[in-house]
Homo-oligomer: A and B are copies of this chain.
Amino acid sequence: MYKVDLNSDLGEGYGLYTIGMDKEIIALISSANIGCGWHGGDPVVMDETVRECKEKSVAVGAHPGLPDLMGFGRRNMSISPVEAKAYAKYQLGALQAFAKSHGVPVQHFKPHGALYNMAASDEKLAFALAEAVYEVDPDIIFLGLANSCMIRAAGECGLIAASEVFADRAYKADGTLVARSQTGAMIHDTELCITRVIRMVKEHKVKAITGEDITLKPDSICVHGDNLKAIELIRAIREAFMEHGIEIKNIRSIVSNHVQ
Whether A44 contacts B83 in the complex (CB less than 8 A), given A96-B96, A100-B136, comes out as yes
Evaluate whether A91 and B89 lie within 8 angstroms (CB atoms) in the complex, with A17-B14, A75-B79 already known.
no
Q: Chain A 69-99, CB within 8 Å of chain B: the 1/0 string?
A: 1111001111100110011011111111110
Contact A78 B75 (CB under 8 A): yes
- Say whether B101 contacts A97, CB under 8 Å: no
Range class of the A interface residue count: 35 or more
Chain B hits for A68, CB < 8 A: 67-68, 77
Kindly state whether residue A47 has any CB partner on chain B within 8 Å.
yes
Q: Is there an interface contact between B89 and A47, defined as CB atoms closer than 8 Å?
A: yes
Most buried by B among A46, A69, A70, A100: A70
Q: In the complex, A255→B251 CA distance in Å?
A: 42
Residues of chain A from 1 to 37 with CB closer than 8 A to chain B in the complex: 14-19, 37
A44 to chain B: which residues have CB within 8 Å? Answer: 82-83, 86
Chain B nearest CB, measured from A152 CB (Å): 22
Within 8 A of B (CB), among A173-218: none
Complex Cα distance A18/B226, Å?
13
Contact indicator A90/B135 (Cβ below 8 Å): no
Interface membership of A42, Cβ < 8 A: yes
Tell me the complex Cα distance, A135–B97, Å: 8
